Structure 1
Amino acid sequence: MNVKIKLSDTLRPLTLGALLLGSALIATSVSAQVRPLDRIVAIVDNDVVMQSQLDQRLREVQQTIEKRGAEMPPLDVMQQQVLERLITENLQLQIGERSGIRIADEELNQALATIAQRNNMTLEQFRDALERDGLSLETAREQIRREMVINRVRQRRIAERIQISNQEVENFLASDLGKLQLAEEYRLANILIPIPESSDSAAIQAAEKVAADTYQQLQQGTDFARLAVSRSASENALEGGDMGWRKAAQLPPPFDTQVRELSVGEVTQPVRTPPGFIILKLLDKRGGDTQVRDEVHVRHILIKPSQIRSEAESRRLIERLRSRIEAGEDFAELARNFSEDPGSALNGGDLNWIDPNSLVPEFREVMANSATGQLSEPFQSQFGWHILEVLGRRATDASAEFREQQAMNLLRNRKYDEELQAWLRQIRDEAYVEVKL
Structure 2
Amino acid sequence: MKRQIRTLFASLAVAMASSAWAASQPIDSIAAVINDEVITVSELALRVQQASRQLQKQGTQLPPQDVFARQLLERMVYERVQLQQARETSVKIDDATLERAIQRVAENNKMSTAQFRAALEKDGLSWSMFREEVRNEMTLGRLREREVESRVVITDAEVDAFLAAQSATSTQEVMIAHILLRAPDGATPQQWSKLQQRAESLLARAQSGEDFAKLAAGNSDASDALNGGNLGWRRADRLPSLYADAVRLLKPGAFAQVLRSPAGLHIVKLVDVRGGTDSSPQTVQRTRVRHILIKTSDTVSDAEARQRLEALRARIVGGASFADVAKRSSGDGSAPKGGDLGWINPGDTVPEFERAMNALAINELSQPVQSPFGWHLIEVLERKDEDVSGERRRNQARMALRERKSDEAFDDFVRQLRDKAFVELRPPYANQKP
Could you say whether these structures have the same fold, taking a TM-score greater than 0.5 normalized by the shorter chain as the test?
A: yes
| 8 Å contact kept, 1:194–1:276 | yes
| 8 Å contact kept, 1:229–1:241 | yes
Identical pairs, percent: 31
Aligned to 2:283: 294
Aligned to 1:47: 37
Aligned to 1:433: 423
| 8 Å contact kept, 1:13–1:236 | no
TM-superposed CA distance for 1:97, in Å, is 2.3
C-alpha distance 254-326 of structure 1, shift in aligned 2 (>3 A): same
CA-to-partner distance for each residue in 1:195-252, whole Å, 9 max, x for gaps? Answer: 3333333332222222222222222211111111122222211221011222222234
| 8 Å contact kept, 1:297–1:390 | no
Q: 1:92 aligns with which of 82, 95, 117?
A: 82
Aligned to 2:239: 251
Aligned to 1:199: 187
Q: For 2:154 and 2:116, how far apart are their aligned partners in 1?
A: 52
| 8 Å contact kept, 1:116–1:122 | yes
C-alpha distance 121-272 of structure 1, shift in aligned 2 (>3 A): closer
SS of 1:23's partner is coil
Q: Is 1:58–2:44 an aligned residue pair?
A: no
Q: For 1:351 and 1:58, how far apart are their aligned partners in 2?
A: 50
C-alpha distance 116-352 of structure 1, shift in aligned 2 (>3 A): closer
| 8 Å contact kept, 2:255–2:269 | yes
C-alpha distance 263-103 of structure 1, shift in aligned 2 (>3 A): same
Q: For 2:117 and 2:407, how far apart are their aligned partners in 1?
A: 38
Letter in 2 for 1:63: R
Letter in 2 for 1:23: V
Q: For 1:206 and 1:397, how far apart are their aligned partners in 2?
A: 51
TM-superposed CA distance for 1:431, in Å, is 1.3
Letter in 2 for 1:297: R
In structure 2, runs of 5+ residues without a counterpart are: 290-309, 327-339, 348-354, 367-377, 428-434
| 8 Å contact kept, 2:18–2:49 | no
TM-superposed CA distance for 1:89, in Å, is 1.3
SS of 2:267's partner is strand
Q: For 2:402 and 2:74, how far apart are their aligned partners in 1?
A: 28
Letter in 1 for 2:52: Q
In structure 1, runs of 5+ residues without a counterpart are: 1-8, 301-322, 334-347, 356-362, 377-386
C-alpha distance 69-434 of structure 1, shift in aligned 2 (>3 A): same
Letter in 2 for 1:212: E
SS of 2:130's partner is helix
Aligned to 1:338: none
C-alpha distance 195-125 of structure 1, shift in aligned 2 (>3 A): closer
TM-score (norm 2): 0.69
SS of 1:24's partner is coil
C-alpha distance 121-219 of structure 1, shift in aligned 2 (>3 A): same
Q: 1:238 aligns with which of 226, 232, 243?
A: 226
SS of 2:83's partner is helix
Query: Could you tell which deviates more after superposition, 148-157 or 200-209?
Result: 200-209
C-alpha distance 57-260 of structure 1, shift in aligned 2 (>3 A): same
| 8 Å contact kept, 2:176–2:271 | yes
TM-superposed CA distance for 1:264, in Å, is 2.6
Aligned to 1:24: 15
Over the aligned positions, Cα root-mean-square deviation in angstroms equals 4.5
CA-to-partner distance for each residue in 1:52-83, whole Å, 9 max, x for gaps? Answer: 21111111011111222222112222112111
Q: For 2:82 and 2:159, how far apart are their aligned partners in 1?
A: 31
SS of 1:226's partner is helix
| 8 Å contact kept, 2:4–2:138 | no
SS of 2:132's partner is helix
Aligned to 1:304: none
C-alpha distance 128-11 of structure 1, shift in aligned 2 (>3 A): closer
| 8 Å contact kept, 2:240–2:407 | no
Aligned to 2:374: none
TM-superposed CA distance for 1:413, in Å, is 0.9
